[in-house]
A and B are shown apart, each in its own frame.
Chain A
Amino acid sequence: MRPYIALTRIDIKLAMRDRSVLFFNYLFPLIFFFVFSGIMGTARNGGIENVVTMVLAIGILGNGLWGAGMRAVQEREQGILRRFKVTPITPAPLLFASMVTGWLIYLPSVLLVCTLAHFFYGLAIPDRWFSTFVMITLGVVAFRSIGLILASIVNSTQESTITIQLLYMPMLFLSGATIPVRLLPDWAQAAGQFMPATYLVAGLQSVLMRSEPLSSNGPAILALAVTVILGTFISVKIFRWEKDEKMQPEAKLWLLAVLSPFLLLGFYRAFTS
């Protein structure tokens, strides 16, 4: 257990010294928060809850895809993982530390956004605060799993940036995280059903805006949980310590494996609606 604790401790310390981590985790959500509040208004019923849901979802997407995905690639390219490779540790404590650190540094951001929403716009303390916490936790861990898989299948920072953008941008705009789903055309709504972010946004809206229990979000929670399990398992399996260990193009299919729960859900919804 010692490597798990040691790596998590140092990851948190290093994250706190990294200005880009601080910017994207704490300042970036604030910018979104005030912009969305200004544009969308918070006066009508459920307005501020909607803004908070969007800001939290954007934060989780960024934390997982960019935070976990890019950092692992950079550490591999810089030869940092190669130094760990000559010690007796396995990839598991490194992945665990990344997961826990991402979650821990994200929680203050949740508190910050909710506090501002409370004092500026009268956001009530969520009735289902524990469900909200579970949904946020599941979201962060699921998206970090996807980020870690991305890190394992790409061969360079450049490739990583492109691949993350290809996932991040559609999820940002088609999931309801930035544009309310009801305003999207039918084809975009249908496409959104294949994306994990859509289920995260829907889950957060359910517990935050409608105070519904977790049980009313069964499929979304199940899909996110399966993503976590599949993602963790595959991340350990295809982990690469060195930039010279190139991944074959067909290995990129592992990403489909981790996204498979959402593909299944998307098809299910497409055929049952």
Chain B
Amino acid sequence: MNTDKNEPVIQVRGLTKSYGDFAAVKGIDFEVRAGEVFGLLGPNGAGKTTTVEILEGLRSRTGGQVSVLGFDPGSQSRQLKDRIGVCLQSTNLQEKITIREAMDLFADFYTQTVDSDELLMRLALWEKRDAPYGELSGGQKQRVALALALLNDPQMLFLDEPSAGLDPQARLEIHALVGDLRREQRSILLTTHYIEEAEKLCDRVAIIDEGRIVAMGTPGEIQAGVLSQSVIEIRCEEGLPGGDGPCWRDAGSPVFSADRRKLTVQTSHPARTLVDLVKWIEERGIEPSDIRLKRPTLEDAFIELTGKTLRE
């Protein structure tokens, strides 16, 4: 498997997709490098599923250039599908097919496959191998979807909302599995509208809104690039002295609680402001009992960039 981090496995240039007069994707550019987990983050209807389905060879594009593993998904979709693994939203298998039968069936669709028994053991499905698909829980069905996506030992995996609709336990299991795939240096493109999923799993993220990419980078870079400020919250054993307090460097005006035991300050340079704050409190002979620093989250960045929450 190619693990050269600099070599793009997906290249997208000026991609557009329209349905009649409605433009779902309005000219987007990005690259996914070999071995990286790249996340497309956006609310429902942002255009992320359309984008991914174009890359998977499931939908035609209106304009732009796309290459996945060197194939054009528009004209070489069969060769491409033989090499990629896809975990789609809202798919199913027949209620009465057993997991082992499904694995055997799908194995016959590909030119190369891995040992399906090993895959079932790895995905904790071995015990359920003879169970009909209809009797599985949501989390188990999602693991089956992942097992089928890995059957052809793909270099490139597409995971569309891999944990949508799952309970927290099942979501954690899926996250752990994606973490394993990431350690195997497989290239993964995942779409999600869960901020924490993107922060936890992705090397890089593109925030997509109304068919356009509004920000791209590591979750840290995106967080750092927005105007949202860090918030420092300090609690003390006794009330702080009266007055508004001084204005510290790079910080906004301090806000005191009614009993003046809690002080909240917004800052663009949290480390510097924190030192100033603690020094100011100690100079007044007061002991801080709790200090908290809240960094802007990817969600804050998202709200700032799009003016929406992800659940909209």
Contact = CB atoms under 8 A, between A and B. Distances in A.
A2 interface: yes
Interface residues of B, number: 24
Given A13-B101, A14-B94, A87-B81, A6 B108 contact: yes
B280 interface: no
Given A6-B104, A83-B91, A18 B96 contact: yes
A11 B6 CA distance: 45
B82 interface: yes
B310 interface: no
Given A80-B93, A88-B110, A88-B111, 18 more contacts: A2-B108, A3-B108, A3-B109, A6-B104, A10-B97, A75-B94, A79-B90, A79-B92, A80-B91, A82-B88, A83-B91, A83-B92, A85-B58, A86-B58, A86-B86, A86-B88, A88-B79, A88-B82
Contacts of B109: 2-3, 6, 87-89
B56 interface: yes
B148 interface: yes
A90 B109 CA distance: 10
17 contacts: A2-B109, A6-B105, A7-B105, A10-B101, A17-B96, A79-B90, A80-B93, A82-B88, A82-B91, A83-B88, A83-B92, A83-B148, A86-B81, A88-B78, A88-B110, A89-B109, A90-B78
B176 to A, nearest CB: 24
Interface of A: 2-3, 5-7, 10, 13-14, 17-18, 75, 78-80, 82-83, 85-90
* Across the A-B interface, the 4 shortest Cβ-Cβ residue pairs: A6-B108, A86-B86, A83-B91, A87-B109
Most buried by A among B78, B81, B90, B108: B108
B81 A88 contact: yes
A9 to B, nearest CB: 8
A154 B91 CA distance: 20
Interface string B91-133: 1111011000100111011110000000000000000000000
A3 B107 CA distance: 9
Contacts of A5: 108
Contacts of A3: 108-109
A203 to B, nearest CB: 34
Given A86-B88, A88-B81, A88-B82, A80 B94 contact: yes
Contacts of A90: 78
A6 B101 CA distance: 10
Contact of B92 (A2, A13, A17, A78): A78
B139 to A, nearest CB: 18
Contacts of B105: 6-7, 10
A79 B91 contact: yes
Nearest to B96: A17
Interface string B129-149: 000000000000000000010
B92 A80 contact: yes
Interface string B57-85: 01000000000000000000011011000
Contacts of A6: 104-105, 108-109
Nearest to A17: B96
A139 B30 CA distance: 54
A80 B91 CA distance: 6
A13 B97 CA distance: 9
A253 to B, nearest CB: 22
A14 B97 contact: yes
B291 to A, nearest CB: 50
A160 to B, nearest CB: 18
A75 B96 CA distance: 13
A88 B111 CA distance: 9
A147 to B, nearest CB: 18
Contacts of A83: 88, 91-93, 148
Contacts of B110: 87-88
Contacts of A78: 92
Nearest to A10: B105
A18 B82 CA distance: 31
Contacts of A82: 88, 90-91
A81 B78 CA distance: 16
A82 B105 CA distance: 15
A161 to B, nearest CB: 20
Nearest to A241: B58
A245 B81 CA distance: 20
A104 B130 CA distance: 25
Contacts of A89: 109
A265 B148 CA distance: 49
Contacts of B90: 79, 82
Nearest to B151: A87
A88 B90 CA distance: 19
Given A10-B101, A14-B97, A87 B92 contact: no
Nearest to A16: B96
Most buried by B among A13, A79, A86, A87: A86
Contacts of A17: 96
Contacts of B96: 14, 17-18
Interface string B256-296: 00000000000000000000000000000000000000000
A22 to B, nearest CB: 13
A89 B111 CA distance: 11
